[in-house]
Amino acid sequence: MDTSSLKVERGSVIVDSASPPKSRISAHVHDDSICSSDIVIGRILWLPSIAELPKNAVQQVHPKFEGGADDVYNHPVVVCSRPSRDRVQFFIITSFNSRSLEQRFGPTPFTRPEQERIQGYLPISPSQPHPRLQMWENGLRTPVILLEGDKKMLKNSFINTSTVYAINSMSLRPYGSHFNRRRPEHFIEEGSVKVMLDWSKMVAHYSPGPQYRLRQPKAVKPRLQERPSTEGETGERPETPQVPVEAGTKCPFLMFLKVLAEAPRKAFHELRSGSIPLGLALGIVAIVLGVSKILSMGLHTILKYGYWGIRRAILAMWG
């Protein structure tokens, strides 16, 4: 199986197992429970003592081994697979009682099985690999695993990638909870996760199988943002600012005359649509007719008296 394409789902986001998400959901502060969406490949957790867990809580799944594994309890572990909702697979992390690989296995591993055993241990920075096994016959150098955020383990530690174990996910605890109440989270750096899985495939022929997919939460429609209140501390609404009006347009009569003069069709359209009150329009029409009649009567009187004046003047000249 190609570990570069392995994916697990964390919360509502699907991420590559070799790329743990940058934003982490913190573990609870007042208990030792772990958020289910936080159990991802590359996270370092704590395996409690055998007295705190049910009998045979841990099973060795690769290489296949029937029965429990009593010597793995009370150790930090790193998640290497989550095949189901309630089960996780992990590698054991050991410090060899604060010893290096050279101190644990000696400066010169003589037998081939001993060399292969040492080869399965990946050091977590700043731990160092065995000095005699840093370069292999194929030219592949033993890598060093890095943690996110330049964090360090409590002791120089090594990941045993040769053996894989399985346990109920809720049986694990946050790493460091037995030393530090704040329980800072520890994750292997994204590039080192892929290196760890590829190394295990090379030395132990282990590959994680299909991964459990967390249920995605339903999308929640965002609520419309309420308009912020403009009321003052006294509960009174501030006065609405007055919009300046052009000179000569305050009077409805002058407004209608202006519209009528500029666009007669628009004026009649507004009259029909109700934008201009009918009473106002009738009043304006009556005023216009009255003024027109007065003007016409005045003009008629002027013409009448002008006619008679001119006639008398002509008769007086010829008489």
- Lookup: tokens for 181: 């109440």
| Per-residue model confidence (pLDDT) at position 31 | 54
| Per-residue model confidence (pLDDT) at position 13 | 33
Residue with tokens 């946050």: 174
Task: Identify whether the C-beta of residue 160 lies closer than 8 Å to the C-beta of residue 94.
Answer: yes
Please name which of 17, 30, 301 lies closest in space to residue 177, comparing C-alpha atoms.
30
Please name which of 34, 35, 33, 1 lies closest in space to residue 17, comparing C-alpha atoms.
1
Q: Which residues pair with 268 in a beta bridge?
A: none
**What DSSP string describes 155-168?**
S-EEEEEEEEEEEE
Task: Identify whether the C-beta of residue 147 lies closer than 8 Å to the C-beta of residue 186.
Answer: yes
Task: Identify whether the C-beta of residue 116 lies closer than 8 Å to the C-beta of residue 80.
Answer: no
Please name which of 262, 204, 194 lies closest in space to residue 19, comparing C-alpha atoms.
194
Distance CA 39, CA 94 (A): 20
State how far Cα 183 lies from the chain centre. 24
Q: Give the whole-number percent of the chain exceeding pLDDT 70.
A: 61
Please name which of 54, 44, 57, 49 lies closest in space to residue 91, comparing C-alpha atoms.
44
Model confidence, pTM: 0.59
Task: Identify whether the C-beta of residue 70 lies closer than 8 Å to the C-beta of residue 50.
Answer: yes
Cα 259-263-269 angle, rounded to 5 deg: 85
> What Cα–Cα distance (Å) separates residue 59 from each residue in 73, 91, 197?
11, 12, 20
- Lookup: tokens for 294: 């007065």
Q: For residue 226, give the 3-state DSSP assignment.
A: coil
| Per-residue model confidence (pLDDT) at position 26 | 41
Q: Which residues pair with 147 in a beta bridge?
A: 188
Cα 54-82-12 angle, rounded to 5 deg: 120
- Lookup: tokens for 113: 């099985």
CA atoms within 13 A of residue 238's CA, in its CB half-sphere: 8
DSSP label at residue 184: -
User: From the DSSP assignment, how many helices (H) and strands (E) are in the chain?
Assistant: 6, 10
Tell me the residue type at 125: S
Q: Where are the beta strands (DSSP E) in 36-155?
A: 43-47, 59-62, 75-81, 87-94, 121-124
Low-confidence ranges of the chain (pLDDT < 70): 1-32, 65-70, 109-110, 133-140, 177-183, 214-281, 319
Tell me the residue type at 111: T
Q: Answer whether the bond into residue 126 is a cis peptide, omega within 30°.
A: yes
Domain boundaries, the chain: 3-204, 252-318
